[in-house]
Chain A
């Protein structure tokens, strides 16, 4: 069975500082990995995905993520955080053999302070 862990419930960072949101995963085969962001009272918005190829994936709003197969990690990063980045971030994994079923991590709340 596939699983995703986001070890931090909340990350606090000052505006302009680097932001990192951690994610580790477990899946039997090759993973499809995703990051989504959720703003208050909204659904999830896609940020980026890793399917294959370059381990560094660039996504929306200046976010990027690094796939590390040996550590089974897919951490989300942004070089310079904005107050508007404050939101709930979800890492997700899709088992290639399981259609469109996504398994999500518990979410990490990011608070960027001015």
Chain B
């Protein structure tokens, strides 16, 4: 089975722009969650989607949004980028909930200039 695929691998944007990141989960996985990783804040939960519905949301401003499609692929969008949005954005998929382990992609490294 192919692993979790995130595209693009690297992105450079300027302040005020918007960006869309893509995540393709492992085949058959219906849960996709997103995390932001920064040196200062560590790993922080953004949101989780399950069967096209947002199931959980972290403490991020409304500029951060996401969605999931019927094939379980997910996108996250960040509007009006700020310098502090520079981070590694990780997507993870899971076959279910609760005790299921997460499978992570390699991430999208976003740099905001």
B interface, how many residues as a size bin? Answer: 20 to 34
Question: B101: CB under 8 A from chain A?
Answer: yes
1/0 per position for B21-37, CB-CB distance to A under 8 A? 00000000001010100
Q: Which of B43, B58, B94, B104 contacts A45 (CB 8 A)?
A: B104
- Supposing A41-B106, A43-B104, A104-B43 touch, asked if A99 and B50 sit within 8 A by C-beta, the answer is yes
- Residues in A15-72 with C-beta less than 8 Å from chain B: 32, 34, 36, 41-46, 49, 51
* Assembled-state Cα–Cα distance A32/B82 (Å): 34
The 4 closest A-B pairs by CB, nearest first: A43-B104, A104-B43, A44-B104, A46-B101
Q: How many A-B residue pairs have CB under 8 A?
A: 65
- Supposing A101-B45, A103-B45 touch, asked if A43 and B4 sit within 8 A by C-beta, the answer is yes
- Supposing A99-B55, A101-B45, A107-B42 touch, asked if A46 and B99 sit within 8 A by C-beta, the answer is no
Contacts of B58 in A (CB 8 A): 101
Interface of B is mostly: strand
1/0 per position for B3-43, CB-CB distance to A under 8 A? 01000000000000000000000000001010100000011
A interface, how many residues as a size bin? Answer: 20 to 34
The answer to whether A99 and B103 touch across the interface, beta carbons within 8 angstroms, is no
Contacts of B104 in A (CB 8 A): 36, 43-45
Question: B70: CB under 8 A from chain A?
Answer: no
A18 to chain B, nearest CB (A): 25
